[in-house]
Amino acid sequence: QVQLQESGPGLVKPSQTLSLTCTVSGGALTTKYYYWMWFRQPPGKGLEWMGAIDYSGIPYSSPSRRSLITRNTSKNQFTLHLNSVTPEDTAIYYCAATQRDYEPPFDLNEVDSWGQGTQVTVSS
């Protein structure tokens, strides 16, 4: 299994763009059939899928379409960009990975690897 580590700001002001990066070790972003994903868990709520990017660089958007996931293969990192944040975007954000021969969406029990999570608070 790959290892994942999130990094980014813990505090963001409303209307700004949130960018969180996940650094991958133990495997390459381009390994066939890997999907690299972001989830979040707001206070008191369940996990929400934010989107994914696959091994060939094809992005998959969440239903809200507010998020974009990009990648840097030279650094083996992928990044979540969430625009126009509001306090409702306050959550613990997790990066995750799975290796499947079919496309998203995936159930939580289909996720192979998780990062430890990073708290993001949106406040002025």
> What tens digit of pLDDT does each residue of 58-100 get?
999 887 778 999 999 999 999 999 999 999 999 999 999 999 9
SS3 call for 117: coil
**Residue given tokens 């990975």 in the structure block:** 97
pLDDT of residue 4: 98
Neighbours of 43 (CB within 10 A): 7
For residue 15, give both structure tokens. 């209307």
Cα 65 to Cα 67: distance, rounded to the nearest angstrom = 6
pLDDT of residue 1: 86
